[in-house]
């Protein structure tokens, strides 16, 4: 599975299945629906119900333990947050879900790892920069995957992968509310091709 997480911020339940199908057809099989999207839990339930056997479905912008529990109840398997909250991480792991908290500093990285994070979401990656990531990578456990999220696109994949990043979270470069599934599928194919070259 390619380590690209599609971030469907603003997606609605009436379009989420066709967008999910387009992403999977384009080679991206990890899908995050941010909880500040319209009826996000319904979208997660629809995606999980249809694509659970071929894709990893989860939620983004998860800020509370209650939200973790709600996502798990709807079939989500991945919890992504903009911050590193130890209680959210612990609840995620207790329920057997993948935990990707948002981090930026070494202190946040190690606190998230100590709390049980499955991997680390470096956010916003464009502000941290490649130099910042390389400095963190020198001290982080090699077994802990890191994902660059925010301001990173296909053109950046090769240099970030060469530096050791595991994968990427891609939002508006892949999907914006109202986009046609065909356009999303084409962008997904281009991103997948760029990832495969790294």
- From 15, 45, 77, 121, active-site residue: 121
Tokens of 162: 């060469």
- The answer for residues whose C-beta is within 8 angstroms of residue 149's C-beta and 6 or more apart is 5, 7, 102, 121, 122, 123, 124, 125, 168, 169, 171
Active site residue 77: no
Active site residue 87: no
- From 15, 32, 45, 67, active-site residue: 32
Active-site positions?
32, 121
């Amino acid at each position: 599975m390619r380590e690209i997480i599609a971030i469907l911020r603003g997606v609605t339940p009436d379009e989420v299945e066709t967008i999910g199908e387009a992403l999977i057809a384009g080679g991206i099989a990890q899908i995050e629906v941010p909880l500040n999207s319209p009826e996000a839990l319904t979208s997660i339930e629809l995606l999980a119900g249809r694509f659970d056997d071929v894709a990893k479905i989860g939620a983004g912008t998860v800020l509370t333990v209650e939200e973790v529990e709600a996502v798990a109840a709807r079939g989500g398997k991945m919890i992504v947050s903009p911050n590193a909250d130890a209680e959210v991480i612990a609840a995620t792991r207790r329920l057997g879900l993948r935990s990707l908290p948002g981090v930026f500093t070494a202190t946040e990285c190690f606190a998230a790892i100590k709390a049980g994070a499955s991997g680390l979401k470096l956010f916003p990656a464009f502000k941290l920069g490649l130099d910042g990531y390389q400095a963190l990578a020198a001290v982080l456990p090699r077994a802990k995957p890191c994902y660059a999220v925010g301001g990173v696109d296909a053109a950046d994949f090769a240099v970030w992968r060469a530096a050791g990043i595991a994968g990427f979270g891609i939002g508006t470069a892949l999907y914006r509310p109202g986009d046609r599934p065909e356009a999303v599928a084409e962008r997904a194919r281009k991103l997948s091709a760029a990832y495969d070259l790294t």
